[in-house]
Amino acid sequence: VSESRFDPLAGEWRTFATARQDRTLLPTAEACPLCPGSADSEVAAPFDIAVFDNRFPAFEAGPPTPAPRSSGVAASKPAVGAAEVVVWSAEHTRSLAELPLEHLERLIEVWAERYADLGRRPEVAYVLIFENKGEAVGATLPHPHGQIYGYPDIPPRVARTLAVARSHLERTGRCIACEVGGFEHTDASRVVSEDRATIAFVPFAPRFPYETRIQPRRHATSLLDLTDPERASLASVLHTVLQAYDQLFGFSLPYVLALHQAPTDEPRWLDVAHLHIEITPPHRASDRIKHLAGSELAAGAFIGDVAPERAAKALRQLVQGPGELPGRVW
């Protein structure tokens, strides 16, 4: 089965790609498909940053056409779109936090280019750049890499977020993300790191205990909107947050990192889509995971065990040392 199916009860498209069930699982460096020169390598040696199509794609430019469905409650369609792999480094164990800042700046250039390129394709409505890091979030390849999905529709959670932002804009005339960024800057209790262009904070009501959100302080809809100094600022704040994560519990912290930018299908989202990076580590303590269970999975109601202000303070102290207040350095 390789198709998208509509769940009529949730009103959402879901995608099935059963060839993925047998994808490579946790290979050693000798068998790593992302290590240049390995027996099973998908990339030429040497490289700095490599991008290529996912060998086990959820979405493809020319997918198979599913069997036609007769019932109105069982709609399916081809899983058209894109699925790419971005390998950050030729080294098997170099995490994003461990890369030099200059390397992260080049990666952001690559992300911007892939967003522009995939966004121009008529079959792609939304480009999600993400990293699943660590076995705790299900990463199947330990070699540091990210992924890019080009969805044919605006995916469900993004659509809801944009609808909330649209409604706020109509009510107040303001971008909700701009307003939240300004509030967090002023309040300062949840700020992890910031400079003139970029702010990183633990949200007031996060889904995960050590979740952070990194966003431009001014309204920018994608990486393409940012000036060179703003991109450098984004790389620097991201680098700082990732390094704090790796110090938090004494091991390289697993997380899901997602870069959200404006949908690419039509321009009407530009006033409400605010570029941001969302990082959600699953740990709630060094030896405990925040599992999504009954309340989260069945009801969509998140229950948190850690005060957001306490999580922010723990991360901030790893950035700045104890005692300093954030957001007061310029």
Catalytic residues: 145
CB of 151 to its own copies, least distance (A): 6
For its own copies, the closer of residues 170 and 301 by Cβ is 301
- Restricting to residues 273-302, which ones interact with its own copies according to CB under 8 A? 278, 280, 284-285, 288-295, 297-302
Tokens of 283: 């740990």
Task: List CB contacts of 111: < 8 A, sequence separation 6 or more.
Answer: 86, 129, 223, 259
x/- site string to its own copies, residues 247 to 266, per CB under 8 A?
---------xxx-x------
238 within 8 A of 277, measured Cβ to Cβ: yes
Residues 6+ apart with CB under 8 A from 253: 133, 134, 210, 245, 246, 281, 283
Q: DSSP assignment of 9-62, as one string?
A: TTTEEEEEEGGGGG---S--GGG-TTSTTSTT--SPSS-SSEEEE-SS-SSBSS
CA-CA-CA-CA torsion sign (195, 241, 54, 49):
positive
- Taking the mean position of all CA atoms in its chain, how far away is CA 56? 19
What is the per-residue binding string for its own copies in 18-57, x denoting contact by CB under 8 A? Answer: x-xx---x--------------------------------
Burial level of 166, CB count in 10 A (0-12/13-18/19+)?
middle
Binding characters for its own copies, 88-107, by CB under 8 A (x = yes): --------------------
Q: State how far the Cα of 202 lies from the Cα of 244, in Å rounded to an integer.
A: 13
Per-residue x/- mask for its own copies, residues 140 to 179, rule CB under 8 A? -------x-x-x---xxxx-xx--xx-xx-------xx-x
**Among positions 40, 102, 196, 204, the unique one binding its own copies when judged by CB under 8 A:** 204
CB of 156 to its own copies, least distance (A): 4
For the bound state, the minimum distance from the C-beta of residue 201 to its own copies, rounded and expressed in Å, comes to 12
Nearer to its own copies, 33 or 181 (CB): 181
Q: Which 114-143 positions form the footprint of its own copies (CB under 8 A)?
A: 126, 128, 130-132, 137-139
Taking a C-beta distance cutoff of 8 angstroms, is the pair 16, 73 a contact? no
Site stretch for its own copies (CB under 8 A), options 223-231, 237-245, 304-312, 322-330: 304-312
* Cβ nearer to its own copies, comparing 200 with 306: 306
**Residue 307 touching its own copies (CB under 8 A):** yes
Give whichever of 3 and 230 is closer to its own copies, judged by the CB atom.
3
For residues 245 and 229, give the distance between their C-alpha atoms in angstroms, rounded to a whole number. Answer: 24
**Could you tell me if 92 and 35 are in contact, meaning their C-beta atoms sit under 8 angstroms apart?**
yes
- Contact in structure between 209 and 223 (CB atoms under 8 Å): no
Stretch that binds its own copies, among 4-12, 27-35, 216-224, 232-240 (CB under 8 A): 4-12
- Tell me if 196 contacts its own copies by CB under 8 A: no
In the complex, the smallest distance separating the C-beta of residue 124 from its own copies, rounded to whole angstroms, is 13
Please count the residues of this chain forming the interface with its own copies, following the rule CB under 8 A. 84
